[in-house]
Every structure is written in structure tokens, then in C-alpha cells.
Chain A
Amino acid sequence: MKLGAQMIMLWENGAMSLRSILSNKGRAFLTALGVMIGVASVIGLTALGQGARVSVEGRLSHLGANLLIIYSGEPRGTSLVRQRTTNIAPMLTREDLTFLDSLPQELVTKTAPESSMNAQLKVENRNAAATVIGTDPDYPDVRNFRPVYGAFFTELDVESRRNVAAIGVQVYRDLFPDGRDPLGQTIRINGFPFQVVAIMEEKGSPTQDASVLIPFSTYRRSLSGSDNYAIINVQAASPEVMYELQEIIERELLSLRRVPSMEFANFYIANQMDLISTVTGVADTFTLLLGGIAAISLLVGGIGIMNIMLVSVAERTREIGVRMALGAKPRHIMTQFLTEAIILSAGGGTIGVLLGNLFSWGAQRFGGLASLVTPESVLLAFSFALATGLFFGGYPAYRASRLDPIEALRYE
């Protein structure tokens, strides 16, 4: 048959299948329902998985971008989001910091050392407990924790050891419940008077919201008495250099301590990349799992299609006989039923895509869940639905095409 004739056949098959589907809308809907639910659940559930991934990624990037955190003490896993260790002995030295600051711009953009302790705060007759952190002016940039009101303390404040404090939003609420402007107000930290210069942004994490940030020089003089830092935050220049940078830092800090390996070190480095890849790895596994479960429901939908198609072939045995008597070849019959199965699965798939998006939107809007529909999941679910139709429609279509025209014509 010529190409033109083939196209006509294809078109006619589509029209015939469509007519046959439309002549029994209720059944067509029920047939496609399985595929609809399957596709919708693949898209909806992977959207939840990916939503979880993106929201965790987002939360991690709130820590600051390209962050390496050097902790004093024994390694305790990659606990970047662990509770601040206020009771460990600070073992990172000024020498360490000087080395870090000497690293080229291509590796390190900024550093911020910190030490912290729990302290008692007092304004007039009001008391509050808070974590007091002694650090440097770059801290807001490095940890992505910025003042929303007022200005963070400066290099000048550090050099002149001023008693200035940037307070967390929870601290502000505890100490100034009347909502008055705290700038310029004096708070007492373990008895020492500090002037409030800024309120920090709300992070939703108690360790940050209930903290008070003061210059490290002041912290050492008034509170700790130690030159060492508990933590040094290092902001790498780019995500690509983070592992290289971690190695360089480990090597140099070990050599400064004359210690052969990290096993015996009194510090450890948490790499943001590790955490991100761990967490996103978990989220991806989660996505895969949900997607897999949903794919099974799609498979069940496919079996539904096969079921109905077999019934449809049986019901239309005589029609098939007539078509064969009029000159339909086996492959014409095959194509006709296959087209029908594909239309059903594609239709079900399309509605499923809409439902899946609707589900994802609803989960976000009304369920408060992070949800992200990726184009990949839509493409995957839809093509899987098509493949399901092709595969499970194939057997009934083959059966139809193999009918004996004489038997088929005689069929009651």
C-alpha cells in the first residue's frame, strides 16, 4: 500500500476507534480510570517526594551557601544542623583562622569564627536565657543569618571591643514584650551591659532565634577568657571547590597540630555538600519508592484496559468478521483495536496528568505540604501510560486480528 493510503488507513482507524469509544462513554471512562489514577498518583506522589527534596535543599541553603564548618572536638558525623555545642572546649586557634583567611579568593570567600555559651539576659526586671555567640562581622553573610532591623556590629566594634549585641527575634520578644524599639537599649548579659544594635531575622530554629551575637573580642574579654574558637565557619567560593578545600584545610590544620591523621584530630569538618547529597539522596529514594508504588497502580490500570479490550473484541466479533469479509487484513484489525487502546490510555493519561497536578496543588494549598511536579515525572508517567496501553492492548488486538472470518461472521 502506498504511503498516502497508509495515512488514510491510520486516520480512518483513529476515527473508527474514537467513534467506538464515544459510543460507550461510561465504559471508556471506567477503562481509562485505572490509567488516570495510575498517572495521577505517579505525578502526585513524586511531586511530594520532590517537594520534600526541594524544601530540604532550601532549608539547608538557609544555613549559608557553600558552607564548611570546622568544629572543635571529636568527629560526630556530618551534623551540620545539630544543636550548637556550647559546652565543648574551644580548640581552634587564631593561627588556624589566619591560615584560613590566607587562602586565595578562588577557594574561600569569607570566614567567621565563633564561640558560644549559655547566658542569662536581663532588661530591667525581665530575665531570659539565651545562647551568646561571640563572632565576627562576616557572620551574617557566611551563615546567611541577617539583621532585619538595625545594623550588625562592624570591624570597628570588634577592634574597640564594644559591648554591642545583635539579638535574635525570640530574645527580643522575651525581653521587650511591649514591642518597644530595642535599638540603643541596654541589656545585661551575665551582668555586663550591652547595647542592642540589631534584631536578627526569624529563622524558625530556636538555636538561632534565641541567640545573641556579640563581637568575639568582647566575648573573650567579658565572658570566656579564651583566645580559641569553638567553631570556624568557612564560606567556599563555589560548590565545586568544597571537597578540595576541605582536604586543604584538614591537611594544614593537622600539620599545625602535628597530628598524623583525622583519627587523632581535635577538630572535624562538616561539609554542606555531604549533607545536601545525603538528604537529597534520601528524598530521591523516597521519590523512587512512591513512584514505584504508583507505577504498580498504573500496571493495574493497564490490566483493566486489557480486560475491557478483551470484552470489546468478543462483543464485536461479528463486526470483525464483516470487516475481514470486506477486505480488512489482520493488521488492519490489529491497528484498529490497538488504536482504541492507545486512545484510551492516552486519554486516561492526559486526565491523569491534570489530576496529578491538581493533587499536587491541593497538597500544597490545603495540606501544607511541599510539592513539586517535575516535567520528567509527567513525561515518564504519560509515556508509561502509553506503553501500558500498547502492551496490554496488544494482546486483545492480536486476538482480534487472528480471528477466523468465517467463525467471526457466524458469531452470535
Chain B
Amino acid sequence: MIRIRDIHKQYEMGPTVVHALDGVSMDITAGEFVAIVGPSGSGKSTLMNIIGCLDTPDRGEYVLAGEPVAELSDDQLAEIRNLRIGFVFQNFNLLPRATALENVELPLIYRGRGARARRRVAEEMLERVGLADRMTHLPSELSGGQRQRVAIARALVGGPSVILADEPTGALDTRTGGEIMDLFHRLNRDGVTVILVTHDPALAAQTGRSFRLLDGRIVGNGLIDNRREEAVQ
């Protein structure tokens, strides 16, 4: 599903050059639930942006669902994001003046789908995340957990190859955060590929396996199979 080979990315911060990613490789197969974990400044966000097709690497290879995406134009990247990626953000990033339903419909608008088809799929997704009774509410009328569910429904609505969740529980209390993680697990069991980006090793440990990033590199050969570690313990 995702195949990344020797990706490099560097930024100029004033006079100094920051190597945000310094030769990262990874493979993620369809249906997996993986975590990318690391402290801030580890290159985690940069990697997430590249996987999410918001950014392109300076060099290296990135193949998403069989399609090399490392060197696409802005328009092509936008299309890939629309078709292949479902974003879930820490701060939800819902449009404040649009209802839950309208927020969920948004990706389909950019796909040019008609209003009726959009509405049907969006309603289905909101039901799937347990918000059938909150469809016409504005984000401001929803709790944090409910907002994140709307965001997840929005990420799912386009039938993406992968859900990319960036600290999805970071703005939520422990209990609500747990509920959101449960939702991800449930979706993953239904076959959705989920990549969780977090600084929290405890959250990462709930996933199938983790990539630990430090200073732009993947630490310890790049593969941590959480289940096997659990088994060893």
C-alpha cells in the first residue's frame, strides 16, 4: 500500500539547513494499523506531510497504492489527497460555519459529486462513527469527541487508501481519547488502513507496529512489532 525508499527532505531555517528526513524507508501494507512515533523535531510531521501528499520529498521514492507520487504537481497531489488520503487532525479542523453533514460532504465536493449522492454517503459515514443524531449540528454545538468523530467521518467519506491521523486524541481528555482510539481500532478491523502519528509511546503501543523516528531517521531498523513485544513481555 505504502512503499517509501530512502526519502530525504531538508529545510533552510535562516542560515542553517535542517535535515528533517534523512533517508527514511518504510513499507505499510493494506489493512495495517501502524504508528509513527517520535518527539517533536524528529521529522515526524514532515514524514506525515509527505505520506499525506501535502509535501514532496527532495529525493527518494514514495509509492502510494501502486502510484509513484514523489514528483507530482500541486494539482495532481490535490487529486491524490482527495482520492487516497483521509486526514484526521489534532484540532479537528472542521469548518466552523458548516454543519457536521456539510463538513463530511466536503471531500466529495472537490470530487465533483452531485448533492444527493454526497449527502447519502456522508450520512452513512456519520452513522458509522455514531453521530446519526448530530448531522445538522454546527461544530460549536458538538463536544470534542463528537467533533473528532465528524472529522473521522470526513476522512472516511471518500473511501481513502489510508487514514492519516495526526495526534487525534491530543485535544481530548483521556476517556474521550480512548473512545476515539476504539473507533480507529473498529475501523481497522473493518479493513481501513490507519497511520497514527503521535509523540505518545503508550498510544503507539496500541497499534500493530510502530516506526520510531529520531533526528530524521527511523530508529532500530525501523520495525517495532507491538504485538510481538507484548507477547515477549
The answer to whether B54 and A326 touch across the interface, beta carbons within 8 angstroms, is no
0/1 string, A5-38, CB within 8 A of B gives 1: 1101100100000011001000000000000000
Cβ contact of A20, chosen from B74, B97, B110, cutoff 8 A: B97
Chain B residue numbers with a CB within 8 Å of A323 are 106, 110
Chain A residue numbers with a CB within 8 Å of B81 are 324-327
Q: How far is the CA of A406 from the CA of B56 in the complex (A)?
A: 11
Nearest-CB distance from A26 to chain B (Å)?
A: 15
The verdict on A318 contacting chain B, using a C-beta distance below 8 Å, is yes
Nearest opposing residue in chain B for A321, CB measure: B93
The answer to whether B49 and A327 touch across the interface, beta carbons within 8 angstroms, is no
Chain A residue numbers with a CB within 8 Å of B110 are 9, 323, 326-329, 332
Given contacts A8-B114, A409-B93, contact A325 B54 (CB under 8 A): yes
State the main secondary structure of chain A at its contact with B. Answer: helix
The verdict on B220 contacting chain A, using a C-beta distance below 8 Å, is no
0/1 string, A223-259, CB within 8 A of B gives 1: 0000000000000000000000000000000000000
Nearest-CB distance from B137 to chain A (Å)?
A: 16
The verdict on A322 contacting chain B, using a C-beta distance below 8 Å, is yes
The verdict on A4 contacting chain B, using a C-beta distance below 8 Å, is yes
The verdict on A405 contacting chain B, using a C-beta distance below 8 Å, is yes
The answer to whether A330 and B74 touch across the interface, beta carbons within 8 angstroms, is yes
Chain B residue numbers with a CB within 8 Å of A327 are 78-79, 81-83, 107, 110-111, 158
Chain A residue numbers with a CB within 8 Å of B107 are 326-327
Chain B residue numbers with a CB within 8 Å of A156 are none
8 Å CB interface, A302-326 against B: 318-319, 321-326
Chain B residue numbers with a CB within 8 Å of A180 are none
- We find that the number of chain B residues with CB closer than 8 angstroms to chain A is 29
The answer to whether A319 and B95 touch across the interface, beta carbons within 8 angstroms, is yes
Chain A residue numbers with a CB within 8 Å of B87 are 325-326
Cβ contact of A328, chosen from B78, B94, B113, B154, cutoff 8 A: B78
The verdict on B145 contacting chain A, using a C-beta distance below 8 Å, is no
Cβ contact of A8, chosen from B79, B94, B95, B109, cutoff 8 A: B109
The answer to whether A329 and B79 touch across the interface, beta carbons within 8 angstroms, is yes
The verdict on A82 contacting chain B, using a C-beta distance below 8 Å, is no
Q: How far is the CA of A324 from the CA of B219 in the complex (A)?
A: 32
Chain A residue numbers with a CB within 8 Å of B74 are 329-330
Given contacts A20-B97, A318-B93, contact A330 B54 (CB under 8 A): no
Chain B residue numbers with a CB within 8 Å of A326 are 81-82, 87, 106-107, 110, 154
The verdict on B66 contacting chain A, using a C-beta distance below 8 Å, is no
The answer to whether A329 and B78 touch across the interface, beta carbons within 8 angstroms, is yes
Nearest-CB distance from A88 to chain B (Å)?
A: 81
Chain A residue numbers with a CB within 8 Å of B98 are 19
The answer to whether B89 and A409 touch across the interface, beta carbons within 8 angstroms, is yes
Chain A residue numbers with a CB within 8 Å of B82 are 326-327
B residues at A contact (CB < 8 Å): 49, 52, 54-55, 74-75, 78-79, 81-83, 87, 89, 93-95, 97-98, 106-107, 109-115, 154, 158
A sample of 20 inter-chain contacts (CB < 8 A) reads A8-B109, A8-B112, A8-B115, A19-B98, A20-B97, A23-B97, A321-B93, A324-B78, A325-B52, A326-B107, A326-B110, A327-B83, A327-B158, A329-B75, A329-B79, A329-B110, A330-B74, A405-B54, A406-B54, A406-B55
